[in-house]
Structure 1
Amino acid sequence: MKIAVFSTYRYDEEFLSRFNTGHELSFFTVALTEETVKLAEGFDAICIFVNDRVDSEIIKTLHKGGIKLIVLRCAGFNNVAIETANELGIPVLRVPAYSPEAVAEHAIALILTLNRKTHKAYNRIREGNFSLEKLMGFNLHRHKVAVIGTGNIGKAFCRILKGFGCLISAYDPYPSTELQDLGVKYGTLQETLNDADIVALHCPLTETTKHLINKETLKLFKEGAMLINTSRGGLIDTKAVIKALKTGQLGYLGLDVYEQESTLFFHDHSENVIQDDLITRLISFPNVLITSHQGFFTKEAMEEIAQITFKNIDAFSKGEELVNRVK
């Protein structure tokens, strides 16, 4: 199949080329938008990532241009108009699970860095400052962690937390018996958030979870609690979180995702003035740590993404069952 691959970087081309099962790939560094959709004309399929926008109008344009398949090289699909794709008979295939430990471990890294302030200690030492003032953290052992969403990544995260001796509560419409056997206690969202020292988001972004963390749910947080989001930026109402940081209701914030990240993340803006006032405000807080959607970015995860992506493409081209189709 002829496949147009959007939002590609050197590492995407490296891994997709290595695991290619015989398809003709054309790599485009630009994201898929209304302005770039014409690049897909004459191809059989498109391969996209988290910040490519595939709304109803773009899908109709893709359909007219001959696209028969949309392949996501990620798990989330909130950026794709699934109903329109189904109506036009264009399957949307995703990578539902790729090294969930990669994202779970990155969430732990955010927690440990914010808590023990290792990023600040690193900078101090380089400047010859060996003081311990204002570097005090807290033991994770016996502290309560609220896990929102216990899919594959949430499960991996909980297993790591057990090693630290944390008290784990969880909220998910479909409780995991595996985690319950490990001692994870499920409850309502209010029960889960109540008295938690750390809140970690591992749920998908849907209409019901959009701005799950807002000015009302933030009131349920223990004063000074830590919030970690390595899932999707839209789970958080950024303005409400900034207000909670200013009042001290929220004590720490670790983000690997951001609601308006599509115009920022994965690009070098070091020579430009960032026009997004919300993220510049967040960056100014000493108790906020932001990474650029790198939670997935490990060798093992990239290998799995490439392999599953081509399994999806091969299944479609051979007329086999599309096990990873988004319906």
Structure 2
Amino acid sequence: MADFVQQLINGLTLGSIYGLIAIGYTMVFGIIGMVNFSHGDVFMVSAFFALIAFLVITTWLGVASIGLALIVVMVISMVLTSVLNWAIERVAYRPLRGSFRLAPLISAIGMSIVLSNFVQLAQGPRNKATPPMLNQNFPIWTGADGMTLFISLKQIVIWVVTAVLLAAFWYVVQKTALGRAQRACEQDRKMAGLLGINVDLTISLTFVMGAALAAVAGTLFLMYYGVVHFSDGFTPGVKAFTAAVLGGIGSLPGAVLGGILIGLIEVFWAQYVSADYQNVAAFSILIIVLIFMPQGILGRPEVEKV
């Protein structure tokens, strides 16, 4: 029983990181109908931003408090990643917005390759590690067989940050002027522009918001695993996109729910079946769900505009 609950905790933690990345996919797709396949590599770049900032703050500036350093690192990573994604939207996506539908997709894949190869050349092909951080573990239950269930401070931080950011971004989308502009652009960009909404600015801010969430996920990923590699953008990015589709593309709670489901499927399959096929299991579940629920778990059926 303790082993099952331990894997449940691990799955929730991994799924929370996937969920934060997935929100960026679902926001961009919901507004402009484009899958931003460079988003996974934006997440990877944000982890490298966090790594460099953490080493500078703790080594060069001598900040001893890991908690304070992580907060500063997260803010720096969010700012730099938001600027990067804003530039990507201006250069690679906006000029192709009115072209045929495959053009932005090809551009997104191209940006993904550019970011991955740039980081490989700039940082090298080896894993980049950080000093251990937030390694406190708290025993919460001991079974009859003597096995003790632990929860780590890292996991608590990831859960809290994910819950707070989900609530904050849901409020922004549902209750603010920016959120109303985003929902208007989602329904009809031309009509939103005729009604005085700055469509270009709204889309740019959506990319910035998605990048900020990816930066938080990148910082949490670095804190949790303590290592980052230039190829870490592809697989988490694809799984986060899978999570967005599984939960219901266009739904913020659905993105996080899909991420948690993907994380749980991965860890339980690796624990009780085979770690070699955990990715196969995750994508197989996606296929099964989409056969019976094409809109995803929390998504709305698409209405054809005429």
TM-score (norm 2): 0.23
Higher helix content, 1 or 2? 2
TM-score (norm 1): 0.22
Question: Looking at CA atoms only, which structure, 1 or 2, has the larger radius of gyration?
Answer: 1
The higher relative CO (CA closer than 8 Å, separation ≥ 6) is in 2
